[in-house]
Amino acid sequence: EDAFDPFSARCGLVSFRGSFTVASSNRMFSTISVDIRDHEVVILDFSQTDYMDDSAAFVVERLVDVAIEEDTECIVMGLGGAVGAGLQKLNILSSVPKDRYVQDMDEAKVIAKRILGI
Residue 67's pLDDT is what?
93
Specify the amino acid at residue 15: S
Question: In sequence order, what E strands does 30-113 have?
Answer: 41-45, 49-52, 73-77, 101-102
Ordered by start, the domain boundaries in the chain are 11-116
Taking the model in full, what pTM does it have? 0.87
Please answer whether residues 59 and 33 qualify as being in contact, where contact means their C-beta atoms are separated by less than 8 angstroms. no
For 11-116, which CATH class? alpha beta
Q: What is the pLDDT along the chain (118 residues), one digit of tens a residue?
A: 445 555 568 999 999 999 998 888 777 787 787 778 889 999 999 999 999 999 999 999 999 999 999 999 999 999 999 999 999 999 999 999 999 999 999 999 999 999 999 8
SS3 content of the chain, % helix, strand, coil (to 5): 45, 20, 35
